[in-house]
Amino acid sequence: MDDLMKGEPASGFQTLLGYTLVRWEDGVAEVELTIAPQHRNRGGVLHGGALMTLLDTVMGFAATHCTVPGHSRRVVTLSLSSSFLGAVAEGTVVARGTLLGGGRKIVGCRGEVRRKDDGALLASAEGMFKYAPGSENPEGTPR
């Protein structure tokens, strides 16, 4: 698989949770997580906090694609509104984020998390994100 992060190392939180970036294009991103015991809540299903992390992460990626080698773009989350629609205890989930639009510094995104095997919708969200200085430009800033 190509290095979608273009040489940028995984964050500590990404390493801790174990999700993988599987698609990253202009305005769209996808991450996958294979559910392990540490991802489950006391009821034995994927924890809502893990779902929220995947949604926040994938929407942030959708807003920050950059094609300039050695450059990156960053956002901070301003708001996140979510709905939990299903539960899953095992297997792999796929989170997909889409950039909806916005202004030069603040943009909106939509996200969904689905079971990989049958596409059942588990959670959805919308969020507002603010670009870090320099990240509002598609060419980003040097790392």
Across residues 98-122, what is the average pLDDT? Answer: 97
Residue 60 DSSP class: H
Nearest in space to 54 (alpha carbons), one of 2, 11, 94, 103: 94
φ, ψ for residue 54 (rounded to 5)? -60, -45
| 122 in a structural domain | yes
Note the pLDDT of residue 1. Answer: 39
2 is a domain residue: no
Q: In which band, very low, low, confident or very high, does the pLDDT at 2 lie, cut at 50, 70 and 90?
A: low
Within a domain: residue 110?
A: yes
Question: Higher model confidence: residue 7 or residue 68?
Answer: 68
- Per-residue pLDDT at 8: 82
Q: How confident is the model at residue 140 (pLDDT cuts 50, 70, 90)?
A: very high
Q: Which domain CATH number covers 16?
A: 3.10.129.10
Out of 5-14, 63-72, 125-134, least confident range: 5-14
What pLDDT score does 4 carry?
80
> What integer is the mean pLDDT of 84-111?
97
Reported as a single tens digit per residue, the pLDDT across 15-59 is 999 999 999 999 999 999 999 999 999 999 999 999 999 999 999
pLDDT tens per residue, range 59-91: 999 999 998 988 999 999 999 999 999 999 999
Separation CA 84–CA 51 (nearest Å): 9
Is 130 contained in some domain? yes
> Is residue 7 in some structural domain?
no
pLDDT at 129 > cutoff 60: yes
Average pLDDT over residues 85-112: 97
Look at the block and give the residue holding tokens 């893990």: 50
Q: Work out how many domains the chain is built from and give that number.
A: 1
The reply to whether 3 falls in a domain is no
Q: Note whether residue 4 is domain-resident.
A: no
**Where in the sequence is the domain holding 83, given as residue range(s)?**
12-142
Residue 5 lies in a domain: no
